[in-house]
Amino acid sequence: MKKVVLGIGNPIIGDDGVAFHVIEALQENPPPGEVTLTANDVSGLAILDLIADYDEAIIVDAIQTVNGVPGEIYRLKVDDFRVTKHTISPHDVDLPTALDIGKILKINLPSRISIIAIEIPDAYEFSTVLTDAVSAAVNPAAQMAREILAE
């Protein structure tokens, strides 16, 4: 069974790059089995290229919620993002819409997709350093990915 853990974010916008750090933590102590560990700054339809032909995908990304506590880790499903669909441009397509388009295009997508989202306080400050609260979430998020892979 081919599996991928895909970190998404921007490594030069501080906490938005948290997924890159999670992937680095996983690379230091790789999970067993055939697991690809990768990070990228893509969004929208470009995600399809990175998860195509895998049986399982775990997507790690930063998130900002209304009452979220920085460093909090959420395990989510694709359906948790089906509140609205964005189709202004391929760069603004949300994950559920991208996956729906992938199915229409008959792209071989994973049958199981999990999302690990890490609450961040700010996604606009240029930096390569994580805030303390978000940095503290890196290893627990990596451990959550290992547990999901083991299920």
Q: Where are the domains of the chain?
A: 3-150
Could you please state the CATH topology (level 3) that the domain comprising 3-150 is classified under.
Answer: Rossmann fold (3.40.50)
Q: What is the pTM of this model?
A: 0.91
- At residue 33, the 3 state secondary structure works out as coil
Q: What is the pLDDT of residues 61-114, one digit of tens each?
A: 999 988 999 999 999 998 887 665 445 555 567 888 889 899 999 999 999 999
User: What is residue 86's predicted lDDT score, i.e. its pLDDT?
Assistant: 47
Q: Answer whether residue 125 shows pLDDT above 50.
A: yes
The angle at the Cα of 6, spanning 4 to 139, to the nearest 5 degrees, equals 100
User: What is residue 143's predicted lDDT score, i.e. its pLDDT?
Assistant: 98
Q: What is the pLDDT of residues 32-56, one digit of tens each?
A: 999 999 999 988 889 999 999 999 9
Distance of CA 3 to the CA centre of its chain: 14
64: its two tokens: 């900002």
User: What is residue 75's predicted lDDT score, i.e. its pLDDT?
Assistant: 97
